[in-house]
């Protein structure tokens, strides 16, 4: 069910009018739908039904505390990639035993914090990291549960900047080396092998790369078991894509992804773990902005809006497409017109869309960028001294600001002048 729909000609998030939020909060802002977040979690849960499974939300997609609380209340674990994300998961009430620690550059401090606070497993990405974790665990008198992230050398067929499963990528250890690395792990007293981890990329719109990677993991599971390792958990990563361009994209559904999992690794009696981020949060959020100026250019009209690349960097960074809609529904029969939709930042890259057909707009009109709930607010910066924009959560007919817009003063006062200059 879609939770961002027009009612009486105004785009709503659940039962709340975006015009009303804009009037209270000011634009630009992000808005998230509780019902959509919950539904996306459930869809994965159903897709894996019949197999022992655990969903670890990849909070890098959207780590707002309110979003994390919703996920925690649904029973989700968390996939974290930094000490900061670990701290957020704990603060959101997620038990340490539900937190998986991924990432290629975990520091000793991050490892120690997670070992002290409780951890489900560390996904180890290199031999040096494995030895450091062993040392840290021994120094704390504990044992760290681990999987080794294997790099299956499959092409995820996604944007090069978010593909992770090819041998030239920095992630994981080559699958051909896995037996040797597991043998080494088994000799380290501070580590306990619990399973295997794989993650091949993000925004996957084809299931074949998953099928190939999971088949390789199944084969490796059997080999490692023959070698005497207790492989009881398979972390299959995240990455399932979402439709960004609704008129011509229909990526596979979680239920079909679940079938691939069942087919490839379902017979191994392992607990299946997945780490979805984008599919949970992406289409649960919009970025709402106001047109500041309509500027007639040569051969094209620009809509200059009050959101910019610092608020939503995906178009500038990955040439990503976000559907853009008018908040006030156009009258029947009004033809869309092409615009270049740009932000106010002093860079040509601050362009959200080129020659995009949308309803005619003028200064003061509101527009919404769809599919902005994942990798939107979390990737924002204050470039051009534009304060981070607020995030708003809707539930039924209620809404609340879940991150406030800092004042200029608050933004400025985070800097300090050295004592010798005062």
Interface of this chain with ligand LLP, residues 275 to 294, rule: CB under 6 A: 275-279
Nearer to ligand LLP, 14 or 110 (CB): 110
Residue 58 is a binding residue for ligand LLP (CB under 6 A): yes
What is the C-alpha to C-alpha distance for residues 291 and 152, in angstroms, rounded to an integer? 46
One symbol per residue from 147 to 166: x for binding ligand LLP (CB under 6 A), - otherwise; what is it? ---------------x----
- Minimum Å gap between C-beta 301 and ligand LLP is 28
What is the C-alpha to C-alpha distance for residues 83 and 393, in angstroms, rounded to an integer? 25
* Selected range binding ligand LLP among 42-50, 247-255, 272-280, 297-305, rule: CB under 6 A: 272-280
Q: Which two tokens stand for residue 236?
A: 């299959």
For 380-383, which contacts have Cβ atoms below 8 Å and span 24 or more sequence positions? 380/310, 380/311, 380/312, 380/313, 381/310, 381/313, 382/310, 382/411, 383/308, 383/309, 383/310, 383/345
Residue 368 is a binding residue for ligand LLP (CB under 6 A): no
Residue 24 CB-density burial (10 A; 0-12 exposed, 13-18 middle, 19+ buried): exposed
Instruction: Scan for tokens 């509101």, then name that residue.
Output: 366
- Minimum Å gap between C-beta 347 and ligand LLP is 18
* Selected range binding ligand LLP among 1-9, 70-78, 199-207, 360-368, rule: CB under 6 A: 199-207
Q: Tell me which residue of 119, 49, 45 sits closest to 78, measured CA to CA.
A: 119
> With left for phi above 0 and alpha for psi between -120 and 50, is residue 98 left, alpha or beta?
alpha
Residue 202 is a binding residue for ligand LLP (CB under 6 A): yes
Choice from 16, 61, 185, 316 touching ligand LLP (CB under 6 A): 61
Interface of this chain with ligand LLP, residues 204 to 223, rule: CB under 6 A: none
Q: Tell me which residue of 40, 5, 26, 80 sits closest to 392, measured CA to CA.
A: 26
What separation, in Å, do the N-terminal and C-terminal C-alpha atoms of the chain show?
A: 58
Choice from 314, 322, 370, 386 touching ligand LLP (CB under 6 A): 314
Residue 172 is a binding residue for ligand LLP (CB under 6 A): no
* Selected range binding ligand LLP among 19-27, 176-184, 212-220, 233-241, rule: CB under 6 A: 233-241
Neighbours of 301 (CB within 10 A): 16
- Minimum Å gap between C-beta 240 and ligand LLP is 6
Angle formed at CA 381 by CA 378 and CA 386, multiple of 5 degrees: 130
- Minimum Å gap between C-beta 220 and ligand LLP is 18
Residue 302 is a binding residue for ligand LLP (CB under 6 A): no
Catalytic residue among 1, 250, 332, 346: 346
Active site residue 346: yes
CB burial readout 44-73, b (16+ within 10 A) else e: bbebbeebebbbbbbbbbbbbebbbbbbbe
Cβ contact 238:277 at 8 Å: yes
Cβ contact 207:156 at 8 Å: no
Interface of this chain with ligand LLP, residues 84 to 143, rule: CB under 6 A: 102
Choice from 77, 145, 165, 237 touching ligand LLP (CB under 6 A): 237
Choice from 98, 199, 229, 395 touching ligand LLP (CB under 6 A): 199
Question: If binding means CB under 6 A, how many residues of this protein chain bind ligand LLP?
Answer: 20
Choice from 152, 172, 190, 238 touching ligand LLP (CB under 6 A): 238
Cβ contact 368:288 at 8 Å: yes
Q: Which residues belong to the active site? A: 346
Q: By the criterion CB under 6 A, which residues form the site for ligand LLP?
A: 58, 60-61, 79, 102, 162, 199, 202-203, 237-239, 275-279, 314, 318, 375
């Amino acid at each position: 069910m879609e939770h961002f729909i027009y009612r009486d000609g105004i785009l709503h998030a659940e039962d709340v009018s975006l015009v009303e939020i804009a009037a209270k909060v000011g634009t630009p802002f992000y808005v998230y739908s509780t019902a959509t977040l919950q539904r996306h979690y459930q869809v994965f849960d159903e897709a894996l039904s019949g197999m022992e499974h655990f969903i670890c939300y990849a909070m890098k997609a959207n780590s707002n505390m309110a979003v994390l609380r919703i996920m925690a209340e649904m029973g989700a674990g968390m996939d974290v990639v930094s000490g900061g994300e670990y701290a957020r998961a704990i603060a959101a009430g997620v038990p340490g035993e539900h937190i998986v620690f991924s990432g290629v550059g975990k520091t000793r401090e991050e490892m120690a914090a997670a070992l002290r606070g409780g951890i489900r497993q560390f996904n180890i990405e290199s031999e040096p990291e494995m030895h450091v974790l062993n040392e840290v665990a021994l120094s704390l008198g504990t044992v760290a549960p681990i999987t080794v992230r294997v790099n299956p050398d499959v092409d995820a067929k996604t944007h090069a900047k978010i593909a992770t499963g090819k041998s030239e990528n920095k992630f994981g250890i080559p699958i051909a080396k896995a037996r040797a690395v597991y043998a080494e792990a088994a000799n380290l007293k501070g580590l306990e092998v619990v399973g295997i981890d794989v993650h091949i990329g993000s925004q996957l719109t084809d299931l074949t790369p998953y099928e190939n990677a999971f088949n390789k993991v199944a084969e490796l599971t059997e080999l490692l078991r023959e070698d005497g390792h207790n492989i009881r958990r398979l972390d299959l990563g995240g990455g399932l894509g979402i439709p960004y361009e609704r008129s011509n994209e229909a990526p596979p559904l979680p239920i079909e992804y679940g079938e691939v999992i069942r087919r490839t690794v379902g017979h191994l009696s392992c607990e299946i773990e997945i780490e979805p981020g984008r599919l949970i949060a992406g289409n649960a959020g919009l970025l709402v902005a106001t047109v500041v100026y309509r500027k007639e250019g040569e051969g094209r009209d620009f809509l200059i809006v009050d959101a910019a690349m610092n608020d939503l960097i995906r178009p500038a960074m990955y040439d990503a497409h976000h559907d853009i809609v008018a908040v006030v529904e156009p009258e029947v029969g009004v033809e869309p017109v092409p615009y270049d939709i740009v932000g106010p930042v002093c860079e040509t890259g601050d362009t959200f869309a080129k020659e995009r057909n949308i309803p005619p707009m003028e200064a003061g009109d509101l527009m919404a960028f769809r599919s902005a709930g994942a990798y939107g607010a979390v990737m924002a910066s204050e470039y051009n001294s534009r304060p981070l924009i607020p995030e708003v959560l809707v539930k039924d007919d209620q809404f609340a600001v879940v991150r406030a817009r800092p004042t200029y003063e608050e933004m400025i006062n985070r800097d300090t002048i050295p004592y010798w200059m005062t």
